[in-house]
């Protein structure tokens, strides 16, 4: 347990991830939102309906929807890096990775399990958008809050968050993991 990484380095990795997601997500969201807004605004303006005002409104709505979809899609894809490698880019930069709770390298299945628990709020929210499964979407905020609060368990002696405990994982310096 002494080789497990504590709260400070994990918080630093999360801050790096937030910075990357913020910058790249904003740029991608702005670019895709601008393209979608131009496309929708042009299509509405050409339809001859209410004239320029409907084209401008369509452009604005398209830009916002495109930006939100692009940003959300990027964040989701970014999180999948951790699902398949056991480390987010922020953790990779700092030389950290998840492994089994006894200090061995994890399997891809273990990393996906850890990711699914960590992002359970997001996954429930996505499932809640499926017709007939809307009740799962209602559970998403509670799941997200539980996982967030569970991150502070890293401050304890075991240095494991709630999603680590649920998946039987811990975070280590990559060099400290046994094969």
pTM: 0.82
pLDDT of residue 169: 97
Query: If pLDDT is split at 50, 70 and 90, which confidence band does 39 have?
Result: confident
E strands present in 21-163: 96-100
Does the residue 110 lie in any domain?
Answer: yes
Does the residue 2 lie in any domain?
Answer: no
The CB density around residue 1, as the number of other CB atoms within 10 Å, is: 11
Q: pLDDT by residue (tens digit) across 142-163?
A: 999 999 999 999 999 999 999 9
Q: What is the largest CA-CA distance in the chain?
A: 70
Does the residue 69 lie in any domain?
Answer: yes
Q: Give the rounded percent of residues in the chain with a pLDDT score beyond 90.
A: 66
Does the residue 25 lie in any domain?
Answer: yes
User: Do the beta carbons of residue 147 and residue 98 sit within 8 Å?
Assistant: no
Does the residue 86 lie in any domain?
Answer: yes
The answer on pLDDT for 42 being more than 80 is no
Does the residue 79 lie in any domain?
Answer: yes
pLDDT of residue 45: 58
Does the residue 41 lie in any domain?
Answer: yes
More confident residue, 73 or 163: 163
CA atoms within 13 A on the CB side of 48: 0
- Of 165, 172, 157, 160, nearest to 105 by C-alpha is 172
Q: pLDDT by residue (tens digit) across 75-132?
A: 899 999 999 999 999 999 999 999 999 999 999 999 999 999 999 999 999 999 999 9
Q: Quick one: average pLDDT of 43-50?
A: 57
pLDDT of residue 21: 92
* Count: domains in the chain: 1
pLDDT of residue 69: 79
User: Do the beta carbons of residue 140 and residue 124 sit within 8 Å?
Assistant: yes
**3 state DSSP class of 88:** coil
User: Do the beta carbons of residue 12 and residue 94 sit within 8 Å?
Assistant: yes
pLDDT of residue 49: 53
pLDDT of residue 8: 96
The CB density around residue 13, as the number of other CB atoms within 10 Å, is: 22
Distance CA 156, CA 7 (A): 9
pLDDT of residue 97: 97
Does the residue 1 lie in any domain?
Answer: no
Q: What's the sign of the alpha-carbon dihedral 129, 134, 136, 138?
A: positive
The answer on pLDDT for 50 being more than 70 is no
* Helices vs. strands in the chain: H and E counts, helices first: 7, 2
Structural domain containing residue 49 = 7-176
């Amino acid at each position: 347990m002494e080789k497990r990484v504590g709260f400070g380095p994990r918080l630093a990795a999360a801050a790096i991830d937030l910075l990357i997601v913020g910058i790249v997500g904003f740029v991608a969201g702005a670019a895709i939102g601008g393209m979608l807004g131009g496309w929708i605004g042009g299509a509405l303006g050409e339809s001859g309906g209410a004239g320029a005002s409907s084209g401008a409104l369509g452009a604005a709505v398209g830009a916002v929807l495109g930006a939100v979809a692009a940003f959300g899609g990027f964040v989701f894809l970014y999180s999948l890096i951790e699902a398949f490698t056991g480390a987010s880019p922020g953790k990779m930069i700092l030389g950290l990775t998840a492994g089994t709770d006894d200090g061995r390298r994890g399997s891809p299945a273990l990393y996906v399990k850890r990711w699914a628990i960590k992002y359970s709020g997001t996954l429930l929210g996505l499932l809640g958008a499926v017709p007939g499964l809307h009740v799962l979407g209602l559970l998403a905020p509670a799941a997200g809050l539980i996982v967030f609060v569970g991150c502070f368990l890293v401050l304890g002696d075991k240095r494991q968050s709630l999603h680590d405990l649920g998946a039987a994982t811990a975070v280590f310096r990559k060099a400290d993991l046994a094969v």
